[in-house]
Amino acid sequence: MSQLIAEHVSKTYDGARGPVHALSEVSVRIGQGDFVVALGASGCGKSTLLSLLAGFQTPSSGRVSVDGVAVTGPGSDRGVVFQDDALFPWLTVLDNAAFGLTLRGIPSQQRRERAKEMLALVGLSAFAQHRINEISGGMRQRVGLARALTANPFFLLLDEPLGALDALTREQMQTLILDIWQKSGTGMFLITHSIEEAVMMSTELLIFSPRPGRIVSRHYFDFARRYAAGESARSIKQDPAFSQARSLILEHIIAQTEAV
């Protein structure tokens, strides 16, 4: 089982008006099968942490590693999905999904087979030949997920992938991502602004606070595992334990805002 680890990671940017301490002494451990969710106001360094985990940037201090090997750049062991996923509008859904493997020199037939499997996983088999501008926002996010999954990553890093979706589509995407997590055994790192989403999906929930961005508390929940074990999302959300967890997290978030 692979582990993606950040140890005492800090990041300072050279801002136009002096240094910006985006992250301070953040440690996080994402094992395959874990679902780590980052929650917090804008500007508390969540995307910075994700980019360090992805290897898009390097920390100013501290270390990011996979199974003890330092991360020095992006790798096929880590898939990334953003809110506005950069899909190619002139390519079909299938070709977009297969694109994740194009750069790796994998033969085209193999690429398409793998992409088809992933489109089936995200429920888009019927749309394989559609162009991106012919499908909805929720479907585009599913193409982004399929593309990230074609390389068979050990970890998926998701930066507010559901932020732009309407409420109903968002709930459907939440359970789809949980299904993918359960089937693939991937280690997940998800950034969200939604308390309900964070509580429902996390095995470990990290609450961030700004200036400098840091983790102020960690909470461990079993709702995602209950869903993975077969309980319906509706039944979980109706459990009083779920509302209690939501209230607890809300109180922590309010305490954070008041402390700033």
Binding site for ligand ADP (CB under 6 A): 13, 15, 20, 22, 42-48, 213
Which of the ranges 40-48, 99-107, 112-120, 133-141 carries the binding residues for Mg ion, by CB under 5 A? Answer: 40-48
| Pairwise CA distance, residues 235 & 82, whole Å | 29
CB 85 within 8 A of CB 148: no
Rounded least distance, CB 105 to Mg ion, Å: 32
CB 75 within 8 A of CB 55: yes
119, interface contact from Mg ion, ligand ADP, none, CB < 5-8 Å by kind: none
47 binds Mg ion (CB under 5 A): yes
Question: Would you say 78 or 114 has its CB closer to ligand ADP?
Answer: 78
Cβ neighbours for 71, distance < 8 A, ≥ 6 positions apart: 4, 52, 53, 55, 64, 65
Question: Would you say 118 or 156 has its CB closer to Mg ion?
Answer: 156
Parallel, antiparallel or unpaired: strands 61-66 and 69-70: antiparallel
51 binds Mg ion (CB under 5 A): no
| Pairwise CA distance, residues 36 & 29, whole Å | 9
Rounded least distance, CB 165 to ligand ADP, Å: 18
192 binds Mg ion (CB under 5 A): no
| Pairwise CA distance, residues 119 & 134, whole Å | 16
Neighbours of 51 (CB within 10 A): 18
Rounded least distance, CB 22 to ligand ADP, Å: 3
Rounded least distance, CB 139 to ligand ADP, Å: 25
64, interface contact from Mg ion, ligand ADP, none, CB < 5-8 Å by kind: none
